[in-house]
Amino acid sequence: MINLPLTLPSFTGEVACNEGVAINDDNGAAEGGLSGMLAPEIGESAEVSQASVEKALSRSLGEKTNVVVYVDGAPAAVKDITTTKRQKDRIDSELAPTHLMQEMVDCVQRERWPKRQLERSFLAALKRCFRLSPDQKHALAEYLRSQGWTVIEAEFEADVRTAQDCGDQDIVVSSDSDMIAYSSVKTVWRPVSGYRFLVYPLERVLSHMNLSRRQLTVLTIVSQNVYSANVKGLGSKINLSIIKSTNDAEDIRSMINEYLNSTRVINLNTTDIDFEIPQQVFVYMVQTPSALPPLDVSGYDVLRTQY
């Protein structure tokens, strides 16, 4: 997560940005973008990987003085379901590099050079196995500080801390579409390929969608996000039409209750749904530590040795 002022000098004038007001519907962090830039190359040492991250940040953002980099802290309890799912997916993904490497070995044994796409698939599969341990994240933060960056290591999720610190003139650079839920966030730059950004000025987005700021927050809460699932059978378009018909009340909870009591929702047997967890995060920015055991996944050094 990166939070920077709107007046950042290196982003005035000829900026390599694509400007738009379309809402991105992919729920959760995107593949590629800035997160892709920060993924270390296979075979690199920790020091080289840290330098690669710093180089990517410099190339993407230029000016260090007015940039604040946020790093995730300990897992939060509100994200336990997502954390467990991602952990399972990561463990399952450790099988993919083995199968792909065997395909490359088979090609060589048949005296055929492996196709470039097979090599790319192998490297992509290997990167999906990778995760930063708390010690590695802290080491990265320390390295970035030594290079002149301002880094905040969040106690829990970086997106919540970013939203807490975000001022009216700040820009949030993130590939996490959930950032639009926070009322403090006014502008989001979503990284895309080639060190460019899709620009989402929330005031223009709201005007384009004919929504109030609170209605957008409610729409994010009741749609699928990293903290909860949407009501089964109701996609983003239907949710949008329902939210547009709700009253723009001061209390977010009353707006959610109005959504849950609307005809199209109540007919789907939603008595056990209250969206309390995403409310705690997106509205009140409350997080508590997770009680899950530490993640058990092959470390980076193990993967480097294995492959």
pLDDT tens track for 21-47: 222 223 233 333 334 444 444 445 778
CB atoms < 10 A from the CB of 185, how many? 22
Q: Output 297 or 124, whichever has higher pLDDT.
A: 124
pLDDT score for 292: 61
pLDDT tens track for 62-90: 878 889 999 988 777 666 666 666 667 66
Containing structural domain, residue 108: 95-127
- Please indicate, yes or no, whether residues 68 and 145 belong to a single structural domain of this protein: yes
Total domains, the chain: 3
pLDDT score for 255: 95
In a domain, 294, yes or no: no
- Please indicate, yes or no, whether residues 153 and 56 belong to a single structural domain of this protein: yes
- Please indicate, yes or no, whether residues 174 and 276 belong to a single structural domain of this protein: no
- Please indicate, yes or no, whether residues 59 and 28 belong to a single structural domain of this protein: yes
Inter-residue contact 95 to 176 (CB < 8 Å): no
Domain boundary among 143, 172, 207: 207
60: CATH = 3.40.50
Average pLDDT, the chain: 77
- Please indicate, yes or no, whether residues 123 and 249 belong to a single structural domain of this protein: no
pLDDT tens track for 133-143: 788 889 999 99
